[in-house]
Amino acid sequence: MSDTIIKPETRSFNVEEVRADFPILSREVYGKPLVYLDNAASAQKPRSVIDAISSTFDHEYANVHRGLHYLSNEATQKFEDAREKVRAFINAPTENEVIFTGGATDAINLVASSFGEDNIGEGDEIILSQLEHHSNIVPWHYLRERKGAVLKWVPVLDNGELDLEAYEAAFSPRTKMVALTHMSNALGSITPIKEMIRIAHEKGALVLVDACQSVVHLPIDVQDLDCDFLAFSGHKLYGPTGIGVLYGKADVLRSMRPYRGGGEMIKVVEMDKITYADIPHRFEAGTPAIAEAIAIGAAVDYVTSIDRVGALNHENELLAYATQRMSELNAVRIIGTTPNKGSIISFVVEGAHPHDISTVIDRAGVALRAGHHCAQPVMDRFGVPATSRVSFAMYNRKDEVDTFIEALSSAIRFFE
Ligand SMILES: Cc1ncc(COP(=O)(O)O)c(C=O)c1O
């Protein structure tokens, strides 16, 4: 793990201390303690993030970048401080390369639209993997539909890893863009992203990394990865909804025209001419999500205040323990068995629909997800319409795995 994200004041990892930071974890559902195992969909929020939002509205709220008055300057300072925190968190060279978006989906749409409009035409190729979330598929399909671009797919092996030989073979002189997940939200597979970026660059293509899941668990250093773009959302990183981040290399971003126009993103607007502001503001048209941006800064502060190696080890222990206990239940098939995976387990139970399984488990107070996880290509790959999915955060405990296994066992008996 990179030292850059562990501050000197980092506290050692202690799951009980972490849990105490998350008010919602002490509530009950159906009269039972909440066991929240739907973290890959959205994580719960620590008190410091909740306070950052309310204190913005209580004390320092005004529109940013526009006012000459005290409050506006203060809000602008906090907003830009949050950008700097995110910059440091992903080790971007400059703050200009950190664009606040509405989320990862918004960030990927920005790249597909702005970069795609001028750089991807008929017959040009975009490489995606079968592991991708729909957010990293549909914006590229638009370029296929509207401009005649060609989508090429990296297949998934039986254990949930990407087929790297097929990846290398997918390139051609027409390959313009490679858009890949760093960690699959559906299976948990962690892709060898640095190596894949190196290969793409050797072949002359740019790379967008979907770091929505990985940024929560793994250190991200965009300079070390050498990615051209990287996207993630605030709400999976213990931060608020409605805010996300697009990192882009400065020269690439500066070569792109904005796809959304409005206030804040221009230098001059005349009757017959416009000139654009410099990055990042060129891509931040309109009033941004101010409190949410400040709170994503608080989320980054929170995550970096904890020993992330300790948190990751803890999550990996939960993953190993849950995997072992689930494997002892004969009716369960785990999809995605590579050892290179994060703390996500997708599974199906023979003879029962994932929705039914998850509904029964919910009654035990255990929140998990069922469905295609916005990743239909990988569901098709494994011949299932849907899976149930448990996903761990650093605040989950071993006894919560036991509660889940008990609930899963009852669900299996129920549908036998
Ligand atoms: C891997 C991955 N990519 C993209 C997204 C989309 O994120 P958002 O809905 O926050 O824009 C998600 C959300 O589940 C995801 O897990």
Spell out the residues 6+ positions from residue 145 whose beta carbon is closer than 8 angstroms to its own. Answer: none
Q: Is 227:248 a contact under the CB 8 Å cutoff?
A: no
Spell out the residues 6+ positions from residue 208 whose beta carbon is closer than 8 angstroms to its own. Answer: 108, 111, 136, 177, 178, 179, 180, 227, 228, 229, 230, 231
Which residue's alpha carbon is at the smallest distance from atom 16 of ligand 1?
Answer: 185
Q: Which of 374, 384, 402, 409 is catalytic?
A: 374
| CA R_g for the chain | 22
Answer CATH for 50-304 from 3.40.50.300, 3.40.50.1970, 3.40.640.10, 3.30.70.360 = 3.40.640.10
Distance separating alpha carbons of residues 82 and 79, to the nearest angstrom:
5
**How far apart are the CA of 123 and the centre of ligand 1, in A?**
28
Which sign does the torsion angle of CA 302, 84, 279, 118 carry? negative
416 residues of the chain, pLDDT tens digit each? 333 434 446 889 999 999 999 999 999 999 999 999 999 999 999 999 999 999 999 999 999 987 789 999 999 999 999 999 999 999 999 999 999 999 999 999 999 999 999 999 999 999 999 999 999 999 999 999 999 999 999 999 999 999 999 999 999 999 999 999 999 999 999 999 999 999 999 999 999 999 999 999 999 999 999 999 999 999 999 999 999 999 999 999 999 999 999 988 999 999 999 999 999 999 999 999 999 999 999 999 999 999 999 999 999 999 999 999 999 998 999 999 999 999 999 999 999 999 999 999 999 999 999 999 999 999 999 999 999 999 999 999 999 999 999 999 999 999 88
Give, for ligand 1, the residue of 131, 135, 216, 238 to mutate: max count of ligand atoms closer than 8 Å to Cβ: 135
Helices and strands per DSSP (H, E), number in the chain: 16, 17
**Domain limits, CATH 3.90.1150.10, in the chain:** 3-33+307-415
Give CATH superfamily name and number for 3-33+307-415. Answer: Aspartate Aminotransferase, domain 1 (3.90.1150.10)
Residues touching ligand 1 (Cβ under 6 Å) are 103-105, 133, 135-136, 181, 185, 210, 212-213, 233, 235
**How far apart are the CA of 210 and the centre of ligand 1, in A?**
8
pLDDT of residue 5: 39
Active site residue 212: no
Q: Is 104:212 a contact under the CB 8 Å cutoff?
A: yes
**How far apart are the CA of 209 and the centre of ligand 1, in A?**
12
pLDDT of residue 297: 98
Distance separating alpha carbons of residues 343 and 39, to the nearest angstrom:
10
**Domain limits, CATH 3.40.640.10, in the chain:** 50-304
Output the DSSP codes for 260-290. S--TTSEEEE-SS-EEEPPTTGGG--SS--H
